[in-house]
Homo-oligomer: A and B are copies of this chain.
Amino acid sequence: METLMELAATLGPRHCLTASDDIAPYAVDWRGQWKGMPAAVLRPGTTEEVAATLRACAAAGLAVVPAGGRTGLCGGAVVPANGPPSVILSLERMNRIRDVDARDFSLVAEAGCIVQNVQQAAAAVDRLFPLSWGAQGSAMVGGALSTNAGGIRTLRWGNARDLVLGLEVVLPDGRVLNDLRRVRKDNSGYALRHLFLGGEGTLGVITAAALRLVPALKRVETAFVAVPSPEAALNLFSRVMGSGAEVIAFELIIGTCMEIMSRNAVGIRIPLPLGSPWYVMVELAAAHPSVPLREMLEDTLAAGAEAEEVLDAAIADNEAQRAMIWRIREDWPDSGRREAPCINTDTSVPVSAVPTFCARVEAVLAERWPEGRLIAIGHAGDGNIHVSLMAPTGTPYEAWSARARDAEAIVNAIAVELGGSFSAEHGIGQSKRHAMVTHKDGVALDLMRAIKAVIDPRGMMNPGKMLP
């Protein structure tokens, strides 16, 4: 194809992959759920090369699927199965940290920087880049921003969106929107960057971002807590938030998860006895070493025990114990996968509705699928509970998927009814487009389509994703 030969000349032949062996890794997502073959994988190394690539693809009528670390859960970075001829535009070579400024609490990173590398570059100047989740060692900045990634610290510092000061974006026609400023305040017109943040590459390609840093943490205290119920967890959450301590994480995990993990996880030590119906992980932090964080945590947990919100608690005594608590949280997806297939969701509700949500979901799923197991694990402090319905051990994925498929729609409907979302932090991609039809406000959908039509009139950017 002529366009690809031209692009091979522009990018260099090593960065215009067309051999099927070279393309294969890009033709499937990491969970193996989404598959689609691109015509080529293009790996531009600069913003100008991204612009040239988009111009060439536009001229040739090739659709463009932007990709980064490809750790997403919704099939957003894979060519859709029945889509138009498409290329994968991988940002992996744009991996420079262009600037770090400790006085400005800012860092400018290209889209292909691995999130963990950004964290480390910030730490090297005594600053914290707070975005953090399990896949941070592979996930890249461009994907994190395009999906408005969440994670374990959004309670304190917000989603990816909240950590962006400025963006550089290549539009579908190859023009560059240069808003890569480090300035904290700018009220000169519409906040265009928020269309691309969380836009899942359907409006353009994020090539770089000015990111916000915060003061490094000097003290952290982490507890693993057994609680009798989601209601008790909510009361404990109110207590710890009301205490005035800086709460950076508050995770809720159903007891079933811990039992499965105790069987399946390798090298995990669970710091409390099994048997509690629910567990909580709470982490407090302070940027000043003189804040009496340990006492704050102990006092709050003691008061929680007195109020029967806390059954048992273990506070990490050192960094190794703290890391172990977080390993429990992060190892869940692997432990779960080793146990049995799941129907997964990514729901959120207002924090105060978490107990009602858990109770209603449990009742409905138990009645319809008594053989299934309720999994609930999530960021309770911001209302984002991932509910899954797990198959009995030994059930093949296809069988469970056929039998329990409706569970997703049922859980989504309960979340939306309680004022929540069917797509809290993972995005829509291919996996939740059908839910957009059911649950998204019609006026919002109309506006989304109108905006898509003016920025990408020929629908070349990541077709088959997000918009139903």
Binding site for B on A (CB under 8 A): 101-106, 126, 147-148, 150, 154, 158-159, 161-162, 171, 175-179, 181-192, 194-195, 197-199, 203, 215, 218, 234, 237-238, 241-246, 286-292, 295-296, 348-352, 379, 382-384, 419-428, 432, 435-436, 439-441, 443-445, 447-448, 450-451, 453-455, 466-467
Contacts and interface: CB of A to CB of B under 8 A. Distances in A.
A199 to B, nearest CB: 6
Contacts of A176: 443
Contact of A190 (B150, B158, B199, B423): B199
A185 B382 contact: yes
A352 B103 contact: yes
Given A178-B443, A179-B441, A179-B444, A190 B184 contact: no
Copies in the complex: 2
A290 B295 CA distance: 10
Nearest to A182: B350
B171 A185 contact: no
Given A192-B448, A246-B287, 14 more contacts: A103-B237, A103-B351, A105-B351, A150-B187, A161-B191, A178-B443, A187-B423, A188-B422, A188-B439, A190-B448, A243-B288, A244-B289, A245-B288, A291-B292
A455 to B, nearest CB: 7
A195 B186 CA distance: 14
Contacts of A447: 171, 177, 190, 192, 455
A203 B190 CA distance: 10
A189 to B, nearest CB: 5
Nearest to A384: B185
B350 A183 contact: yes
Nearest to A292: B290
Contact of A453 (B175, B189, B454): B454
A196 to B, nearest CB: 9
Contact of A185 (B234, B241, B295, B425): B425
A191 B185 contact: no
A162 B106 CA distance: 18
B161 A287 contact: no
Contact of A197 (B171, B191, B243, B440): B191
A166 to B, nearest CB: 9
Given A103-B351, A238-B103, A291-B291, A186 B421 contact: yes
B191 A198 contact: yes
Contact of A421 (B162, B183, B246, B296): B183
12 contacts: A106-B350, A177-B444, A181-B350, A182-B350, A184-B383, A185-B348, A188-B440, A189-B436, A189-B448, A215-B242, A290-B296, A447-B455
